Homo-oligomer: A and B are copies of this chain.
């Protein structure tokens, strides 16, 4: 008898977030919902992460309405979201009341599985959301951000898993956002968690394909007892995205493991996105191959480009190598935080400052906050010298409490501010939208009635990025068919609309 390996399909969230800058229009997803709903996935990730931000910032789309649409079109499926713990989907810590309200509303609008993570792996930052999920009766998935350091051993991760289990999590996710999880560590980690939490604790592995090794890691995770893996249909896979769903299904043949996913339906979903994807060419991630440099530097690609542009801004582009060597030092001084948003930016910027101005001569406000515990705790001890400097520069003390414990209830205030905005519909959902993106929400509320936008474009009409702007206009067939020209005929200037010769 084969053991069934369950699959979470990422096409509707992380796949297009990773490959198409989160720009996929809901209308390009609706046609495949029936096939996805009947394909036999364990869950369908379709909300959270950057999609909320992208909806209101770029697509003039109400993210709550998107969720309700998925709920309606995927009646048989578990809907899954990615939630940044105490940060929800925003970029700061929210007070517990806001977190609880967000979870309640998400569940009410149709969410089933909440994958909750914290960039520092500080479980205290996960507690409120997990409690709130449990209260709704939905599935709380506690997440371990996978990272590599002398302290991030299998034992340490397994202990974190146990704490998540004690907090009531229904499953544990190993989240490998950078494609760093190699096959043997994947095997050891899944084994370690299963040993610590018991064989019945569901273990779910999320990897990115970036380094080209992680499909093998998924195989090894499966051999170690992993229950659920994340994949995306092949037409929305690979590069900075994920491993292809079809390949995972096929590769298990004869191994003693099998999925219960309907290949025909998956191929139809994939074929739909293959036809849609070229419409988003302008949002394509530049990098689509395999990059193993990260194994050498341990620094995610996105972080390197951030540091490069900071250095360029300071006319010091030639000092990147020094900065790359400084990153591990800064990371160590800060107690080995995982390098993921926002800690990756915070550590990277400080490394740039250290190289340009001398070690910790100047500290960014964010780095001081990280040192002083305002983002949460890290696995490693902070460097006491650097900690002292942080206190001096930030003129505030280090904290050991959970950061959100310092926050006062803020729902009433957010509610009043949100309801005062033009176009606000008076719902709690709108308050949450405003709470998360106070800069973007006002404009969105105002324009919401105009309806959602589809930024996809006919690829035949696309101007390649390498094209000179002048040629670009002539190249749009719509324009080429009918263009206003100034022509000189018989010595006289005419403004005419012309059509190309057939």
Q: Contact between A468 and B460 (Cβ–Cβ < 8 Å)?
A: yes
- Segment at the B interface, from A3-11, A73-81, A84-92, A482-490: A482-490
B471 touches A485 (CB 8 A): no
> Which of A103-111, A113-121, A239-247, A315-323 is the contact stretch?
A239-247
Does A253 reach chain B (CB closer than 8 Å)? yes
* CB <8 Å contact, B250 and A295: yes
CB distance from A38 to the nearest CB of B (A): 18
Q: How far is the CB of A145 from chain B (nearest CB, A)?
A: 20
Interface 1/0s, chain A 468-488, versus B by CB < 8 A? 101101111100110111110
Nearest Cβ on chain B to A374's Cβ, whole angstroms: 36
The interface-forming segment of A51-59, A134-142, A210-218, A441-449 is A210-218
Q: Is the Cβ of A254 less than 8 Å from the Cβ of B216?
A: no
Say whether A494 faces chain B, with CB atoms less than 8 Å apart. yes
Residue A251 interfacial (CB < 8 Å): yes
Asked whether, in the complex, the Cβ of B216 is within 8 Å of the Cβ of A289, the reply is no
- A380: shortest Cβ distance to chain B, in Å? 22
Which residues of chain B come closer than 8 Å to A392, judged between CB atoms? none
A247:B470 contact, CB within 8 angstroms = no
Name the B residues within 8 Å of A290 (CB-CB).
234, 237-238, 244, 246-247
A397 within 8 A of B: no
Q: In whole angstroms, how far apart are the Cα atoms of A290 and B468 in the complex?
A: 31
Number of copies: 2
Inside 8 A of A487's CB, which chain B residues have their CB? Answer: 487, 496, 498-499
State whether the Cβ of A293 lies closer than 8 Å to any Cβ in chain B: yes
Known: A460-B466, A480-B471, A487-B498. A212 touches B234 (CB 8 A): yes
Residue A235, interface by CB 8 Å: yes
With A471-B480, A480-B474 as known contacts, state yes or no: A182 contacts B253, CB within 8 Å: yes
A263 contacts chain B at the CB level, 8 A cutoff: yes
Cβ of B237 and Cβ of A289 under 8 Å apart? yes
Which residues of A from 160 to 199 have beta carbons under 8 Å from B?
182-185, 188
Is there an interface contact between A289 and B460, defined as CB atoms closer than 8 Å? Answer: no
**13 A-B pairs (CB sep. < 8 Å):** A182-B250, A182-B251, A184-B254, A213-B250, A215-B215, A215-B216, A234-B291, A244-B292, A247-B290, A249-B292, A250-B292, A473-B500, A486-B499
Residue ID in chain B nearest A489 by CB atoms: B496
| Residue A464 interfacial (CB < 8 Å) | yes
A481, B288: Cα distance in complex, Å: 32
Identify the closest chain B residue to A249 (Cβ).
Answer: B292
A267 CB–B CB distance under 8 Å: yes
Interface residues of A in 274-325 (CB under 8 A from B): 274, 278, 288-293, 295-296
- Contact check: which of B183, B462, B486 meets A251 at CB < 8 Å? B183
**B235–A289 touching, CB < 8 Å:** yes
A244 to chain B, nearest CB (A): 5
Which chain B residues lie closer than 8 Å to A250 at the CB level?
182, 211, 213, 292, 295
In the complex the two chains form, is B475's CB within 8 Å of A212's CB? no
Residues of chain B contacted by A466 (CB below 8 angstroms): 278, 459-460, 462
| B485 and A477 contacting across the interface, CB-CB below 8 Å | no
A-B CB proximity, top 10 nearest: A212-B247, A184-B254, A246-B292, A213-B251, A234-B290, A474-B480, A244-B290, A487-B498, A475-B475, A471-B480
